[in-house]
Structure 1
Amino acid sequence: KTRFWKDRWHGNQNLSEIFPDIFDLALHKDKTVAEMWSPQGWDLSLRRNLNDWEVCRLVEFFKRLESFQGLKEGEDCLRWTEHNRGRYKVSSGYKVINRAPLTLNWLQRQIWKAKIPLKVACFTWLLAKEAVLTHGNLRK
């Protein structure tokens, strides 16, 4: 199930990162997109009424969600944005990891928290430690 605030379902960032001020005011931080959406619109419950200076930010928030067409039938599914069909491939994962230098500290903090299959996390960990048996590593 796709979480409204914490998963990337509408753009390349999750809504809690784009609108941290509104996220702080939200009563239901762990609800899914399906729980927040109704045919009448978004059910956004806030802890308090907005101050004058916060209204523009809320308008910006709803403008971002304007393009949402409603829910489709069926289960939610994760989509790998680095592959044109949305499927995870080891080769595309390898390319993503090798684009920028990774530090072991970053992996220790992030890789095991990520919402990814265990085999992907294990592969990423081995890759960062240069322990994957690729052709180049086998020749070492």
Structure 2
Amino acid sequence: MEENVFLKVGNGNKIKFWRDGWIDRIPLSESFPDLFSICNNPEARVCKCWTTQGWDLSFRRLLNDREVDRVASFLGKLGGTNLVTNAPYRVIWKHNKDGKFTVNSAYKKGIQAGVRGYHHHWKSIWRGLVPTKVKCFTWLVIKYLTQEVLQKKGKQLVPRCFLCNLTGETNNHLFLHCKFTAQIWEVFLNITCFS
């Protein structure tokens, strides 16, 4: 999920300075583990580390020569960041121009990334606010043993769609993009719309 959103800091009162990925989506504790290990308050919020004069960093001990150079590069990373003291923080969805999440933009992102990246999220289907029949159908689609899934389980099969014979049989192809499946969906949707 983190690769799809970023945090707009605002006044910084809800974002942890060291532990949240508010700069380059990587927590500062991971980018600068040596400085994190000697920081005075690892749970500090961004707003507590900012003053009108700039960043106020405190460490548990005096810095050695090597650490002074690291602090200089650390401050360089923070250089262009200023807090907007009267604005709340926001989570921005990267895949929409206005930064708001929409199902359509998530679907387009999923298609671009391919189904492989989304297979591990199948448990979240049951938590969604959709009708039970949609949850059951979606779960069955994901769990359906396509050629791709069977090959991952060690079965030796011909890796092609037996309906169109054009490409590999994946869940994404079989249920959404196969030309024969598209015709079935069209008939189904026409019957559903007019009944």
Whether the TM-score (by the shorter chain) exceeds 0.5 is: yes
Q: Give the partner amino acid of 2:26.
A: Q
Deviation at 1:12, TM superposition (A): 2.9
Query: Alpha-carbon deviations, 1:87-114, whole Å to 9, x = none?
Result: 122233344455163363xx69xx9xxx
- The runs of 5 or more residues in structure 2 that have no matched partner are 1-13, 129-134, 144-171, 186-195
Residue identity matched to 2:106 = G
Give percent identity, aligned residues only: 29
* Higher normalized contact order (CA 8 Å, seq sep 6+, divided by chain length): 2
Report the TM-score when normalising by structure 2: 0.50
Give the C-alpha shift of residue 130 in structure 1.
2.9
- Give the corresponding residue for 1:25: 38
Cα RMSD of the aligned pairs, angstroms, is 3.5
Quote the Cα distance in structure 2 between the aligned partners of 1:4 and 1:87: 24
1:130 equivalent in alignment to 2:142: yes
* 1:55 equivalent in structure 2: 68
Specify whether residues 25 and 78 from structure 1 end up closer, same or farther in structure 2 by C-alpha distance, changes over 3 A only.
Answer: same
- Aligned residue for 1:3? 16
Question: How many pairs were matched up?
Answer: 123
Amino acid corresponding to residue 83 of structure 1 in structure 2: N
Structure with the greater alpha carbon radius of gyration: 2
Change in CA separation of 1:92 and 1:15 when aligned onto 2, cut-off 3 Å: farther
* Partner in structure 1 of residue 155 of structure 2: none
- TM-score, normalization: structure 1? 0.66
How is 1:59-74 mapped onto 2 (pairs within 5 angstroms)? 59-74=72-87
**Structure that is richer in helix per residue:** 2
5+ residue gaps, structure 1: 112-118
